[in-house]
Amino acid sequence: MNFIFISPQFPHTYWSFCDRLHRNGVNVLGIGDSPYDSLEPALKRALTEYYRVDSLEDYNQVFRAVAFFSFKYGKIDWLESNNEYWLEQDARLRTDFHITTGADLNEVACFKSKSAMKAYYAKAGVPTARCHKITTEAAAKEFLQTVGYPVIVKPDNGVGASATYKLENEEDRIRFFENLPTVPYVMEEFVEGDICSYDAITDSHCQPLFESMTVWPPSIMDIVNKKLDLAYYTAAEVPEALAKAGRATVQAFGARSRFVHLEFFRLTKARPGLGNVGDFVGLEVNMRPAGGYTPDMMNYAHSTDVYQIWADMVTCDRRCLPDSPYHHYCVYASRRDCYRYVHSHEEILARYGNQIVMCERMPEIMSAAMGNQMYTAHAADFAAAQEFIRFVHEKV
């Protein structure tokens, strides 16, 4: 089997995907824009060959790299980056080279557009916030008369909380339209709730081989825009209501043979037409693994190896690793260099040293959302996870 992995060097933990494929006997071919000498040793060992391009943004360069591998190694069976930023390019390459093991351009369109997602949630029977594609200011005013303030405005095709804003009043609306972005935007009614993601690895029939839940702050948008400290956790179990909504959403989108990260609101305030406190409401789909080191947190929480489960899905369309009986919480808490904290780095390590599973500086490109210095630890239960967050984040 020939598998082309796009940008295998970023995020740097993605070497694990290539490593598990290699262990399964796959011919792993990498295309990236980093010099070969800068690749991690483990990634070099996993790759049969690496083709460096000057820029992954240049489709012609990447196309030529795929053509070279196709000429040298024969038919390409899979092509994937597992990266939100490259989903459309991945799909275009699959379409151009007749690679049928992943989404093509038409399928990716519904994955990426926040407005287009609504119809698929409806098909799944999952309620979603009302949404308006911003065309004119007059149409936006009419939508606001229906849903009221506050509302969220965000790019229709965007990654994470980038360029996402909360409009609280008429003054905010006027300011937004005075500086209206050139890219398509949507306006969505504001929903009060925790963000819970349904993370899964699906087989070729859209059936989950692995399921997990991660609970995020109520507003990643505020984390980015207001430079707040970030904390989130991967839970030991998936609530049945979330699993039911997640599975239905996977089927509706036809999300086959991939890692998925589906975001839901768990309502903290009842909303007419959406549900009662505790109900799950669809937010958006992401047809790739959760960001940052969340896949590793899933490993620690479930005592498993999601990279191996994913590789087994690729090579034999089933799960080979048994489910472990040892489940925990895994909690992430990060700090920003611009703040002063009560407890020093050394105090954190001294108190939680036996529980900390990851501790490192975050790459600058990820620091706006993920913080500058991160600590990730095991926690026996929810209370222990919250205490870890409090200790790390307590400020002077």
Residues of the chain with pLDDT > 90: what percent? 83
> Distance of alpha carbon 106 from its chain centroid, rounded?
21
Q: What is the pLDDT of residue 111?
A: 80
Note if the bond before 150 is cis, omega within 30 degrees: yes
pLDDT band (50, 70, 90) for residue 163 = confident
Determine the pLDDT at residue 369: 87
Q: Is the pLDDT of residue 160 over 60?
A: no
Residue 253 has pLDDT above 70, yes or no: yes
- Greater confidence (98 vs 292) lies with 98
**Residue entry with tokens 């290699």:** 22
What pLDDT sits at residue 225?
A: 80
How far apart are alpha carbons 81 and 65 in whole angstroms?
Answer: 14
Q: Which of 165-174, 179-188, 280-289, 306-315 has the lowest mean pLDDT?
A: 179-188
Task: Find where tokens 């943004």 sit.
Answer: 57
Lowest mean pLDDT among 23-32, 73-82, 163-172: 163-172
Arithmetic mean of pLDDT over the chain: 94
Cβ neighbourhood burial of 186 (10 Å; 0-12, 13-18, 19+): buried
- Range in 124-133, 153-162, 260-269 with the lowest mean pLDDT: 153-162
Q: What is the pLDDT of residues 380-393, one digit of tens each?
A: 999 999 999 999 99
pLDDT at 237 over 60: yes
201 or 284, which is more confident: 201
Q: How far apart are CA 160 and CA 368, in angstroms?
A: 11
pTM of the entire predicted model: 0.92
- Which residues contact residue 365 at a Cβ distance below 8 angstroms, ignoring those fewer than 6 apart? none
CA–CA separation, 352 vs 346, rounded Å? 10
**Alpha carbon distance 75, 72 (integer Å):** 9
Considering only CA atoms, give the Rg of the chain. 21
Question: Which pLDDT belongs to residue 158?
Answer: 63
Residue 159, pLDDT score: 56
pLDDT at 267 over 70: yes
Mean pLDDT of 111-126: 91
Tens digit of each residue's pLDDT (9 = 90 or more) over 331-366: 999 999 999 999 999 999 999 999 999 999 998 888
Q: pLDDT-based confidence at 162, cuts 50/70/90?
A: low
Q: Tens of pLDDT along 172-202?
A: 999 999 988 888 899 999 999 999 999 999 9
Instruction: Flag whether pLDDT at 161 surpasses 60.
Output: no
Three-class secondary structure assignment of the chain: CEEEEECCCCCHHHHHHHHHHHHCCCEEEEEECCCHHHCCHHHHHHCCEEEECCCCCCHHHHHHHHHHHHHHHCCCCEEECCCHHHHHHHHHHHHHHCCCCCCCHHHHHHHHCCCCHHHHHHHHCCCECCEEECCCHHHHHHHHHHHCCCEEEEECCCCCCCCCEEECCHHHHHHHHHCCCCCCEEEEECCCEEEEEEEEEECCCCCEEEEEEEEECCCHHHHHHCCCCCEEEECCCCCHHHHHHHHHHHHHHCCCCCEEEEEEEEECCCECCCECCCCEEEEEEECCCCCCCHHHHHHHHHCCCHHHHHHHHHHHCCCCCCCCCCCCEEEEEEECCCCCECCCHHHHHHHHCCCEEEEEECCHHHHHHHCCEEEEEEECCHHHHHHHHHHHHCEC
Beta pairing class for 185-189 and 27-32: unpaired
pLDDT for residue 114: 86
| Dist. CA 387–CA 376, nearest whole Å | 13
